[in-house]
Amino acid sequence: MIKIYHNPRCGKSREGLKIVEESKKDFEIIKYLENLPTKEELGSIINLLGINSEDLLRKNEAIWKENYRGKSLSNDEILDAMLAHPKLIERPIVVNGSKAIIGRPPEKIKSIL
């Protein structure tokens, strides 16, 4: 089943959700700010995306700038930061089986539906 990691307050995430809805396929909405993924789940998503943990960060968030910018962090420490402050996780993320994509721009989501 398709999963979309969604933040309803984010315009790009809402656009991504609309694309998934229009596909008419079964999907699950995961409001990741309320229902945090586990560290293992987040690591698995990163592996499916084929990126490193730093590439999933929203580095323009104030939380990042105030607490982490300029520090040398391991992948594990970056995961911990994202789980402590889920606003740091880029969105939306769509997972379809063994494929995943960050919906920036949202139209990229169509490639895995």
- Look up the CATH number of the domain holding residue 30: 3.40.30.10
Nearest to 91 by CA among 78, 73, 79, 109: 109
pTM over 0.75? The answer is yes
Parent domain of 98: 2-112
- Known catalytic residue: 10? yes
Catalytic residue among 10, 29, 48, 112: 10
Number of domains in the chain: 1
Question: What would the pLDDT profile of 5-39 be if each residue is shown by its tens digit?
Answer: 999 999 999 999 999 999 999 999 999 999 999 99
What secondary structure does DSSP assign to 78-96, as a single string? Answer: HHHHHHHSGGGB-S-EEEE
Question: What would the pLDDT profile of 33-68 be if each residue is shown by its tens digit?
Answer: 999 999 999 999 999 999 999 999 999 999 999 999
Residue 96 is which amino acid?
N
